[in-house]
Amino acid sequence: MKKTVAVLLCLAMMLGFGTMALATGADSTSQPEKSTYEFGFAVPDNIVPGGDVLLPVTFKTASLGEEGYDNVRFEIVNTVAPASGNVTFKAKDLAGRTISFTNYGIYIPSPGFTLPARYRATTDWTLNFSKSGTYVINFKAYDGNHYKIAEASQQITVAEGSFTCTVPEEIIAGQEITANVSFVTDYNFEDVHFEFAKTAGSGDVLFKAQDSNGTWYTFVNRGIWGSDFDITAPYSESTPWKLTFSKAGTYTINFRLVDSDGKVLIEDSQSVTVKEPSSNEDEDEDEDKDDDGNVKCPGNTHGLKNALKNHLKNRKHWNEKERSKSTARLLELLQQRGVTLEELKELIKELEKEIAKDKGSDDDYKVLSRMYKLKGEKYKTYINGKKVDFDVTPIVVNGRTLVPFRKIAEELGADVKWVGGEKKVIVTKGKTTIILLLGDNTATVLIGGKKTKVKLDAPALLHNNRTMVPIRFLSESLGADVDYYSEGALVVIKT
């Protein structure tokens, strides 16, 4: 009996050690290393709303491992879009079937798709954006266990542009006014024209304008301006229109940029309130007498030239009350009166000439901001009184104005460097170095060897082949003061 028990114990011990050996052997066998992957996007230029655009998306091995993944699928999402903006995605799978969805969808190249360790393939996606503005599309790859293999996002700007219609504050039925209609865009268009129409209002609207040859054209309630012409960016043009409203009430005027096929590319509207004429309304005497008894200028500028001359004369007056009075009068006239584009250009030129001499005052820039609002132009930038001319119009992202980094940095006396391989912007002035990465919401600032991370409201980004950076952050980091005049979106920098 004892001998039998001893034999059984020996067998049990041998089996235990064998199991331990098997377990140890299993633990010592490592899992095959997986490859890593990345997305790449080939975004075309000049994307317009409503039209199909080809976007090749490449998915490839970034770091080669021993094996890939099974049951792979791709998730595509439109994560950022302008209000009511949609994106339609279309692509063919490996069997030639068309996969189509709007804003969100799943793409599987083939049932149970196996992703090899070494892989590279480009899928031609056809995208259609419903509205102009900035979009962000996101691509993700998952395996059958919902493990995220790779992810990437791409920002896409679609034919941004805008109409601005500036009208006098007071409009009387039956009286002709001047309305400056401006169109601004950073995109190229082929075979386009402008359309305008009264879309709401109980009366008729008479439109009159003069073309570049001096020929007058008249329309009632709607019309077409221009005959299938090309627009080359950057584009900013204004047309002074003479408008007459037949009745009092509230009107809506619609402006459109339309291609030769009738497709609306960009659209804006302007609401206008028209008052009844007063039976005892006195004629304004600004044309017949001086502003505050000062220098009188003849002509039909409704006192604007007089007011500007008095503003310029009093801008350095020792009496603050006199300075404020002349500036307030000029701002009042700019707000109340219809003014032609040529008059505005002349007024702006004269004021800018004075500002360039001494950097300009707060009152100067208030007046200048209102003038540019009337002219339908935005994002003008001044450094120490000198206007900065950008080859790409500044843009606004998350409420922050972005400008071409090289131009603004050089105007501020800094050295600039672009590291293309790392998508990095380096700006240096004295002991200060600023480093920004495209798409990153954090910037690095080094001052005398001290390193600081700064969170940005808007990241640096690529726009029309220019690297755009937040102007306030960059300027203030280089020791400059920045003021913003919201009426005309005017940026003023002083060092």
CATH topology for the 381-494 domain: Copper Amine Oxidase; Chain A, domain 1 (3.30.457)
Is there a common fold for 36-158 and 161-274?
yes
Strongest mean pLDDT among 220-229, 255-264, 326-335, 435-444: 435-444
pTM passes above 0.85: no
State which H helix or E strand residue 322 sits in.
Answer: helix 320-336
For residues 387 and 385, give the distance between their C-alpha atoms in angstroms, rounded to a whole number.
Answer: 7
pLDDT above 90 covers a percentage of the chain that reads 25
Q: What residue type is assigned to position 13 of the chain?
A: M
What totals of helices (H) and strands (E) does the chain contain, helices first?
A: 7, 31
Q: What residue type is assigned to position 253 of the chain?
A: I
56-65, 278-287, 299-308: range with lowest mean pLDDT: 278-287
Strongest mean pLDDT among 19-23, 52-56, 132-136, 400-404: 52-56
Confidence of residue 404 (pLDDT cuts 50, 70, 90): confident
The answer to whether the CB of 239 falls within 8 A of the CB of 196 is no
Contacts 24+ apart (CB under 8 A), 320-323: 323/363
Domain 36-158 has CATH 2.60.40.10: yes
The answer to whether the CB of 174 falls within 8 A of the CB of 236 is no
| DSSP tag of 95 | T
Strand boundaries in 216-279, DSSP class E: 216-220, 222-231, 235-245, 249-259, 264-274
pLDDT score at 97:
94
1-5, 34-38, 439-443: range with lowest mean pLDDT: 1-5
The answer to whether the CB of 468 falls within 8 A of the CB of 461 is yes
| DSSP tag of 32 | P
1-15, 24-38, 346-360, 363-377: range with lowest mean pLDDT: 1-15
The answer to whether the CB of 473 falls within 8 A of the CB of 403 is no
Q: Give tens-digit pLDDT for 187-201.
A: 788 888 899 999 999
Cis-peptide, bond into residue 234, ω within 30° of zero: yes
Burial code (b: 16+ CB inside 10 Å, e: under 16) for 436-454 equals bbbeeeebbbeeeeeeeee
CATH number for the domain running over 161-274 = 2.60.40.2410
Q: What residue type is assigned to position 37 of the chain?
A: Y
Domain boundaries in the chain? 1-30, 36-158, 161-274, 291-375, 381-494
